Chains A and B, each alone.
Chain A
Amino acid sequence: MRDSLIYLLVFALGIVLALVGWVPELFLPDDMAKGILYLLLFFVGIQIGSSKHLFSVVKSLGFKIVLVPAATTIGTFAAVISVSYLLPHRSLTDCLCVGSGFAYYSLSSILISEYRGAELGTVALLANIIREFFVLVFAPWMVKYFGKLAPICAGGATTMDTTLPIITKYSGTDYVVVALFHGMIIDFSVPLWVSFFLSL
């Protein structure tokens, strides 16, 4: 939660500085943002490659654990395709780009704004922050009516860090491993799905 707050503040600070006309020249070249973006993706890769639990987690639960990230992905895409009919001013692929952020708002919004502009990037930032917020607020209600996997699938890529405590509390410690595995898989899939939909 603290990280989310810092990111939001930094983003807001950027907006305010630009509005008052004080834009540091250092941040203007487009190439530099792209360079930092690739560096970021490289470090995200390092984090995935160096994580030690992934394989032991899969072994302990068996094959059915794979169904959880699959449910997240299929449910999200099906719902985003439906809602895109209510948003005629946005193309289906743009909506899917935003949806495939899976609450990983920082990475998805950065990628999208780099390739589709700041407007869609801002939609992605807000939509994916709201998704994380929904889990933090509605997790007990989700468990009550939709079962213990519901806050995990809703939490998308955040279930290995920011939403893990709340999931542990309401789904129970039995589901910590599921949440960790799910978070890692979705985390990894975000840049792949986003760049796939960007390329369509």
Chain B
Amino acid sequence: MLPIILAIVSGIAIGYLVRNVPAIRYTGKIIGILIALLLFSLGLSVGTNEQVITNFRFIGLDAFMIATASTLGSVLCAAWVYRKFFRKK
């Protein structure tokens, strides 16, 4: 956990210092390329992982259930906060 936090926090500090450097607008592009690279390598490890390939249907079902639950949960909380604090009377 520590190296993850160190990587982000040092990024935030440096990002704040260089926030007026024009080259900063390429950050989004760089992030996109790194993500694509890592997702490609995740695809490779999925493809070489027999367990994942044979269980793909069940993996999909689990993913669908977690996605449905987390969407519903946050929508319900959102409705409560909206009624209590945001809706104009």
CB distance from A72 to the nearest CB of B (A): 5
From known contacts A43-B27, A146-B75, infer whether A17 and B16 are also in contact, taking CB-CB under 8 Å: no
Interface of A is mostly: helix
In Å, the complex CA distance between A142 and B24 comes to 36
Interface of B is mostly: helix
Q: A90 interface residue, CB < 8 Å from B?
A: yes
Total A-B contacts with CB atoms under 8 angstroms apart? 290
Count chain B residues whose beta carbon lies closer than 8 angstroms to a beta carbon of A. 71
- Contact present for A45 and B11 (CB under 8 Å): yes
- Contact present for B47 and A150 (CB under 8 Å): no
In Å, the complex CA distance between A43 and B75 comes to 30
Q: A residues bordering B, Cβ < 8 Å?
A: 3, 6-7, 10-19, 23-24, 27, 33, 36-52, 64, 67-68, 70-72, 74-80, 82-83, 86-87, 90, 95, 98-99, 102, 106-107, 109-111, 113, 117-119, 121-128, 130-131, 134-135, 142, 145-150, 152-154, 156, 188, 191-192, 195-196, 198-199
Top 7 nearest A-B pairs by Cβ distance? A45-B11, A14-B43, A18-B47, A79-B73, A49-B15, A75-B77, A147-B82
Q: B residues bordering A, Cβ < 8 Å?
A: 1, 3-5, 7-19, 24, 27-28, 30-32, 34-49, 51-53, 55-56, 59-60, 62-83, 85-87
